[in-house]
């Protein structure tokens, strides 16, 4: 039995706390803000609460198509949406607090400062300092929005994702700087809420991430444009002027040598260009915890930092690991299993992504580009969402299932889905890849009709014949 202190109560911290308590360790969880971290308070859950309202609004606008009569003049009531968001968060936070109580996890409120593997100092809001002594520490302090010097956020006109999730009104026009996952999700949400939305992305495609297949990025971009979102790729913002109730953005498209200036006037700007480590005052330097040049904590394969007995998990490990809530939870379980005994390296080989754009994206495993770069002999098989009866019944026919298959073994290497409920559908593909399933295995699995899940079964049947 070990005495363990965990700093940070996001999905990394609370999963580690529950796993460690269940394994018989004495656990103290330190949190300076609200329990649940970014994920519960300003990330996964609030964005998906907003997205649920956005989806209903989108459906409402097409009510005639579904033979529903009446007024289709629906609009979002931001005050009530914020109330709903707060009540969803409160309910889930209460669940976490109950689990802490049930598992005897002591929750200490305050800012944790690492002294060594054997001591953490916690400064409470009133300034009092409490030492917590123990055998090991897990750092799970997460990340916060990255700011750009060209676009200093002011919480009013130039916003972070945290601010956007607290807006009490829908801006008439909003420019989202950064077309990654958070930027694209926010673009779809605010467009559905009625804003004029522009997305500016420096690279040449939306979602410019290695895990996202380029075909899927292009499809999303096409659908976002169809929804009325202006998308500018290969464009860099250099400056913003705030005044007269508007923000004037100065940007340029193209290379430094041949750039085309672009000016844009909007009510609000949302900066979604990435995240930075939330380690201010954590004491990493003095404790001797090694970080990379950008401040992300470095660990070995067993998630132990350069200080023996101090582990790190979750977003604090940075984008080279995978900054997602479910990966944070996997790292948490792994770090707890490794306390004092390096037994389980953390496995990053198969992490599904769920992107809540319109249409949604779910992907897992290798992209075509990654598979080819690894020298794999692959076949790519595609099925359009419009080939599914259920998609027509739902009135949501945009999208694609794309499968990457090993041409020799016929096993599935990657699945990339863009379409309705893609974020749920990807789970079957993840299981199939994890179990080493061949396309034959999935093709022989009976999928109920009419469902969107048939898409994966049909795709594997096509792959079997190809
Ligand atoms: P966090 O959740 O950030 O938790 C860290 C906690 O540590 C915080 O509560 C913080 O207050 C606390 N803390 C920091 N320093 C100290 C200190 N010194 N002392 C005490 N406490 C401290 N991921 C998904 O998988 N799916 C999604 O749909 C998704 N959507 C997202 C949407 C948005 C807008 C954002 C911003 C993120 C989203 N993410 C999503 C990412 C996800 O939120 C993070 O990957 C996840 O929260 C990381 O968990 P964590 O426990 O490492 O850190």
Domain residues of the chain, as ranges? 3-145+276-337, 158-273, 359-465
Which residue has the CA at smallest separation from atom 45 of ligand 1? 324
Residues with a CB atom less than 6 Å from ligand 1:
7-13, 30-33, 37-39, 43-44, 47, 111-112, 140-143, 161, 182, 278, 282, 314-316, 323-326, 328, 354
Burial, 363: exposed, middle or buried (Cβ in 10 Å; 0-12, 13-18, 19+)? buried
Q: What percent of the chain has pLDDT over 90?
A: 93
**Stated pTM of the model:** 0.96
Residue 131: pLDDT band (50, 70, 90) is very high
Supply the mean pLDDT for the chain: 96
**At residue 259, does pLDDT exceed 80?**
no
What is the token pair recorded at 263?
């000016």
Q: How many CB atoms lie within 10 A of CB 53?
A: 19
For residues 286-291, average pLDDT: 97
What CATH number was assigned to the domain covering residues 158-273? 3.50.50.60
**At residue 402, does pLDDT exceed 90?**
yes
Q: Measured from the CA of 11, which atom of ligand 1 is nearest?
A: 51
Burial, 359: exposed, middle or buried (Cβ in 10 Å; 0-12, 13-18, 19+)? buried
**At residue 256, does pLDDT exceed 70?**
no
Residue of 7, 34, 43, 333 to test ligand 1 pocket, by largest number of atoms within 8 Å of CB: 43
The answer to whether the 3-145+276-337 and 158-273 domains have the same CATH topology is: yes
**326 included as an active-site residue:** no
Burial, 88: exposed, middle or buried (Cβ in 10 Å; 0-12, 13-18, 19+)? middle
Domain 3-145+276-337 class in CATH: alpha beta
pLDDT at 253: 87
For residues 107-126, average pLDDT: 98
For residues 448-463, average pLDDT: 96
- Superfamily for 359-465? FAD/NAD-linked reductase, C-terminal dimerisation domain (3.30.390.30)
pLDDT at 258: 67
* pLDDT tens, position by position, 316-329: 999 999 999 999 99
* pLDDT tens, position by position, 321-355: 999 999 999 999 999 999 978 788 999 999 999 99
**At residue 17, does pLDDT exceed 70?**
yes
Separation of 425 CA from ligand 1 center, angstroms? 25
pLDDT at 369: 96
Residue of 6, 18, 41, 44 to test ligand 1 pocket, by largest number of atoms within 8 Å of CB: 44
pLDDT at 466: 73
**At residue 370, does pLDDT exceed 90?**
yes
**At residue 255, does pLDDT exceed 80?**
no
In the numeric block, the tokens 């007995």 are attached to 309
Q: How many whole angstroms separate alpha carbon 319 and alpha carbon 321? A: 5
DSSP output for 333-395: HHHHHTTTS-------S---EEE-SSSEEEEEE--HHHHHHTT--EEEEEEEGGG-HHHHHHT
Which residue has the CA at smallest separation from atom 52 of ligand 1? 314
pLDDT at 459: 96
Residue 192, SS3 per DSSP? helix
pLDDT at 413: 97
Which residue has the CA at smallest separation from atom 16 of ligand 1? 141
**At residue 134, does pLDDT exceed 80?**
yes
Residue 254: pLDDT band (50, 70, 90) is confident
CB proximity list for 263: less than 8 A, separation 6 or greater: 248, 249, 250, 251
For residues 42-69, average pLDDT: 95
pLDDT at 136: 98
Residue 413 phi, psi (nearest 5): -105, -30
pLDDT at 257: 63
* pLDDT tens, position by position, 153-200: 999 999 999 999 999 999 999 999 999 999 999 999 999 999 999 999
């Amino acid at each position: 039995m070990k005495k363990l202190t965990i700093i940070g109560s996001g999905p990394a911290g609370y999963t580690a706390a529950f796993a460690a308590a269940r394994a018989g360790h004495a656990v103290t969880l330190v949190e300076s803000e609200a329990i649940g971290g970014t994920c519960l308070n300003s990330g996964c859950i609030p964005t998906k609460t907003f997205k649920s309202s956005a989806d209903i609004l989108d459906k409402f606008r097409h009510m005639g198509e579904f033979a529903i009569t009446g007024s289709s003049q629906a609009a979002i009531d931001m005050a009530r949406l914020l109330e709903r968001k707060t009540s969803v968060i409160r309910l889930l936070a209460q669940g976490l607090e109950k689990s802490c109580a049930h598992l005897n996890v002591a929750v200490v409120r305050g800012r944790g400062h690492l002294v060594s593997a054997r001591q953490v100092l916690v400064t409470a809001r009133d300034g009092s300092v409490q030492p917590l002594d123990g055998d090991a520490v897990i750092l799970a302090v997460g990340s916060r929005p990255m700011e750009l010097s060209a676009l200093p956020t002011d919480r009013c006109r130039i916003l972070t994702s945290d601010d956007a999730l607290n807006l009490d009104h829908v801006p008439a026009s909003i420019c989202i700087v950064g077309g990654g996952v958070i930027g694209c999700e926010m673009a779809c949400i605010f467009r559905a809420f009625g804003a004029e939305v522009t997305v500016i992305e420096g690279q040449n495609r939306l979602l410019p991430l290695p895990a996202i297949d380029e075909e899927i990025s292009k499809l999303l971009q096409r659908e976002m444009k169809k929804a009325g979102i202006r998308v500018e790729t290969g464009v860099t913002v250099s400056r913003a002027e705030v005044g007269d109730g508007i923000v004037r953005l100065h940007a340029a498209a193209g290379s430094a040598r041949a750039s085309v200036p672009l000016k844009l006037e909007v009510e609000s700007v949302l900066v979604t260009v990435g995240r930075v480590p939330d380690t201010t005052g954590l004491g990493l330097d003095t404790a001797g915890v090694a970080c990379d040049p950008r401040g992300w904590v470095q660990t070995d394969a067993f998630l132990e930092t350069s200080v023996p007995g101090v582990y790190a998990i979750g977003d604090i490990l940075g984008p080279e690991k995978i900054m997602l809530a479910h990966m944070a939870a996997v790292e948490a379980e792994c770090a707890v299993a490794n306390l004092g005994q390096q037994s389980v390296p953390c496995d990053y080989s198969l992490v599904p992504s769920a992107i809540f754009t319109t249409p949604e994206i779910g992907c897992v495993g290798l992209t075509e580009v990654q598979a080819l770069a690894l020298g794999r002999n692959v076949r790519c098989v595609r099925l359009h969402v419009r080939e599914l009866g259920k998609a027509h019944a739902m009135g949501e026919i945009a999208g694609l299932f794309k499968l990457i298959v090993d041409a020799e073994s016929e096993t599935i290497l990657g699945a990339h889905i863009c379409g309705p409920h893609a974020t749920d559908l990807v789970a079957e593909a993840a299981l199939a890849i994890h179990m080493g399933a061949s396309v034959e295995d999935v093709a022989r699995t009976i999928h109920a009709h009419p469902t969107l899940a048939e898409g994966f079964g049909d795709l594997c049947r096509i792959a079997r014949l190809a």
